[in-house]
């Protein structure tokens, strides 16, 4: 009795191991792939608008670039259009608010004023927002711009849905 129960247990484990490694068995037990249901896109991403009318703003880097005086660090400001997903890249020498203000002015000179800007809570974005508000309190309102910041430490997938 003991021998049969012991041996059947050993053989059962080996049999199960052999079955689980069998490709035919895996194919027979496989489940078909099902896509998860995607949520609806927010209105800002669906409504037709001019390019870069609604913009997401972020920094990328640092990148090491070889210059005459050696290797220097540079950053890239990413302006992403919500509607078309087009990307505009602007090179930044450093992360100061003054450099970002120049980048924003270059972007506005090339493309018109965006109606809305969504940025994260990076220090340079917060500082430039304060500078713009101090210099000309109605600057954003005059141009019809809305500047929103994402919630700190929020998942990157929700950035486009908070808008």
19 with 50, same domain: the answer is no
88 with 107, same domain: the answer is yes
Better-scored residue on pLDDT, 51 or 32? 51
74 with 104, same domain: the answer is yes
Could you report the per-residue pLDDT of 3-13, keeping only the tens digit for each? 445 445 555 55
85 with 133, same domain: the answer is yes
pLDDT of residue 3: 44
Within-domain flag for 105: yes
| Inter-CA distances, 122 with 31, 104, 111, Å | 45, 15, 23
pLDDT greater than 70 at residue 111: yes
29 with 69, same domain: the answer is no
151 with 106, same domain: the answer is yes
Within-domain flag for 163: no
Give yes or no for a contact between 57 and 23, defined as CB atoms under 8 angstroms apart.
no
pLDDT greater than 60 at residue 66: yes
60 with 123, same domain: the answer is yes
64 with 3, same domain: the answer is no
The mean-pLDDT minimum among 1-10, 62-71, 129-138 falls in: 1-10
The pLDDT of 50-64, averaged and rounded, is 89
Q: What is the pTM of this model?
A: 0.63
Could you report the per-residue pLDDT of 139-161, keeping only the tens digit for each? 667 777 877 777 665 555 544 44
Within-domain flag for 135: yes
12 with 89, same domain: the answer is no
Q: Note if the bond before 62 is cis, omega within 30 degrees.
A: yes
Within-domain flag for 39: no
The pLDDT of 39-65, averaged and rounded, is 86
> Domain tally for the chain?
2
CATH code of the domain in which 124 resides? 3.30.420.10
DSSP string, the chain: -HHHHHHHHHHHHHHHHHHHH-HHHHHHH-----PPPPPPPPHHHHS---TTSEEEEEEEEEEEEEETTEEEEEEEEEEEETTT--EEEEEESSS-HHHHHHHHHHHHHHS---SEEEE---HHHHHHHHHHHHH-TTHHHHHT-EEEEPPTT--GGGTTT--
Q: Show the domain range for 23.
A: 1-34
pLDDT of residue 119: 82
30 with 50, same domain: the answer is no
81 with 144, same domain: the answer is yes
């Amino acid at each position: 009795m003991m021998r049969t129960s012991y041996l059947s247990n050993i053989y059962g484990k080996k049999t199960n191991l052999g079955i689980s490694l069998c490709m035919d068995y895996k194919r027979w037990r496989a489940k078909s792939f099902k896509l998860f249901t995607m949520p609806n896109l927010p209105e800002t991403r669906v409504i037709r608008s001019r390019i870069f009318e609604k913009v997401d703003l972020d920094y990328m880097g640092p990148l090491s670039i070889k210059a005459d005086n050696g290797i220097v660090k540079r950053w890239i400001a990413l302006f992403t259009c919500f509607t078309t997903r087009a990307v505009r890249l602007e090179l930044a020498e450093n992360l100061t608010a003054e450099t970002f203000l120049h980048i924003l002015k270059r972007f506005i000179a090339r493309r018109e004023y965006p109606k809305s800007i969504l940025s994260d809570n990076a220090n340079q974005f917060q500082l430039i927002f304060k500078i713009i508000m101090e210099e000309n309190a109605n600057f954003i309102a005059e141009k019809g711009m809305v500047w929103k910041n994402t919630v700190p430490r929020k998942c990157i997938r929700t950035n486009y849905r908070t808008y």
